[in-house]
Amino acid sequence: MLKAENVNKDHKRAGEIIRALINVNLEIYAGEVAVIQGPTACGKTTLLNVLSGLDMPDDGKVFLDGENISRATEARLSTIRRQKVGFVFQDFNLIDALTAEENVEALLWPESLTSKDIEKRALAALRDVNLLDRKDHSPRQLSGGEKQRVAVARAIIHQPRVLFADEPTGNLDPESGNSLMDLLVKLNKDYKTTIVIVTHDEKIAQKYGKKRIRMDKGAIISVN
């Protein structure tokens, strides 16, 4: 499903070169729930960005479903994101001017589908995250946990092969965080979606990570 081969990535900050990823080799199989954990600034988010095609490695290759995405064009990456990949961000990143339903639909607006079809899928996704009764509310009217569930609904409306989540519980209280993680695990069971989560929360990693990838200083130190 996802494979990283000898991936290296540097960042330039204030004239200094920071080695964010050092010779990373990793394989995540279809249907797994993988948790990438480690201390702050260990390279977790950089690894997520590279695995998802949001960022390009300086060296090495990244394969998604057998396709080398580390050298794909931006147009091809856009198509891959729209068809195979879902994202859940720590800060939800919902569009305030749109309702919950419209935020979920937004992913499919560029597709050649009828509006009815898009609406049907959005409602199904909101049903999966138990938020159908709040579909006409704007993000400002939703709690943090509800916003994150809308974000998850947006991430699954197109039934992606893999869902990437960067600290999805980072801005939630513990109860909402656990509820969200239960939801992600349920989606993994129901739809066999591969889930890759970045977290610094040891409890989340222990409870939900079927595959735990520990990182430190840009390198993977263990996979179990």
Partner 1 sequence: MSTLRLIRKAFLLATRSKRRFITFTVFYASLIALTAFFVNLAFKDWLAHIYFGPNTIFMIIVLGVSTFMSVLYALIIVSNRKTEIATLKCIGWKNGHIWILVSGEIMAVTLIAFIIVVEVFFHITSIAAYILAISRPTSQVQAIVVVQFVPIVITFLFMLGVQIAGILIANRKILKVRPIQALQKIA
Q: What are the residues binding partner 1 (CB under 8 A)?
A: 45, 49, 54-55, 74-75, 78-83, 85-87, 89-91, 93, 95, 97-98, 106-107, 109-115, 154-155, 166
Collapse the DSSP code of 194 into the 3-class scheme (helix H, G, I; strand E, B; otherwise coil) and give the result: strand
Read off the tokens for 100.
Answer: 């919950």
- Tokens 């138990």 belong to which residue? 130
Angle separating helix axes 144-156 and 174-191, nearest 10 degrees: 20
Q: Which is nearer to partner 1, 5 or 102 (CB)?
A: 102
Collapse the DSSP code of 223 into the 3-class scheme (helix H, G, I; strand E, B; otherwise coil) and give the result: strand
Least distance (Å) between residue 96 CB and partner 1: 9
**% helix, strand, coil for the chain, step of 5:** 40, 30, 30
Q: Which is nearer to partner 1, 60 or 223 (CB)?
A: 60
Least distance (Å) between residue 202 CB and partner 1: 22
Q: Which is nearer to partner 1, 95 or 221 (CB)?
A: 95
Return the ∠ at Cα 139 (arms to 135 and 143), rounded to 5°.
95
Least distance (Å) between residue 87 CB and partner 1: 5
Phi, psi of 169 (to 5 degrees): -105, 5
Q: Which is nearer to partner 1, 76 or 207 (CB)?
A: 76
CA-based R_g, the chain, Å:
17
**d(C-alpha 46, C-alpha 223), whole Å:** 17
- Answer whether 20's CB lies under 8 Å from 41's CB: no
Least distance (Å) between residue 83 CB and partner 1: 7
Least distance (Å) between residue 144 CB and partner 1: 15
Return the ∠ at Cα 30 (arms to 24 and 36), rounded to 5°.
40
Q: Which is nearer to partner 1, 17 or 97 (CB)?
A: 97
Least distance (Å) between residue 29 CB and partner 1: 24
Q: Which is nearer to partner 1, 87 or 208 (CB)?
A: 87
